[in-house]
Amino acid sequence: MHEPQPEYPDSAREEGHEGTVILRVLVDEHGKPGAVDIVRSSGFGNLDEAGRAAVRGALFKPYLEEGHAVSVYVIVPLRFQLDS
């Protein structure tokens, strides 16, 4: 498993943008992300897109049903918070 590691966009950092984007991700039987939809925006497009990109680069643990890996949707919240 390789967790999403979002990269904070420079423009968002400079403008002090923070927020949480909630993504709905289709994880295939190999643990690879497929479709990525925004369930709830952070309020900032650049943070949302950074979250989407991070999820696309992640690797998930495949979901097993009766011993067989199957595709499944998961909810992934990603929080962007600047250090104080």
The answer to whether the CB of 47 falls within 8 A of the CB of 84 is: no
The answer to whether the CB of 83 falls within 8 A of the CB of 9 is: no
Identity at 29, one-letter amino acid code: E
* CA–CA gap between residue 18 and residue 15 (Å, rounded): 9
All structural domains of the chain: 10-79 (3.30.1150.10)
Dump pLDDT digits (tens) for 6-51: 999 999 999 999 999 999 999 999 999 999 999 999 999 999 999 9
Q: How far is CA 54 from the centre of its chain?
A: 6
Higher confidence at residue 13 or residue 2?
13
* CA–CA gap between residue 23 and residue 55 (Å, rounded): 8
Confidence of residue 84 (pLDDT cuts 50, 70, 90): low
pTM over 0.85: yes
Q: Which helix (H) or strand (E) holds 37?
A: strand 33-40
**What residues have CB less than 8 Å from 64, skipping those under 6 apart?**
70
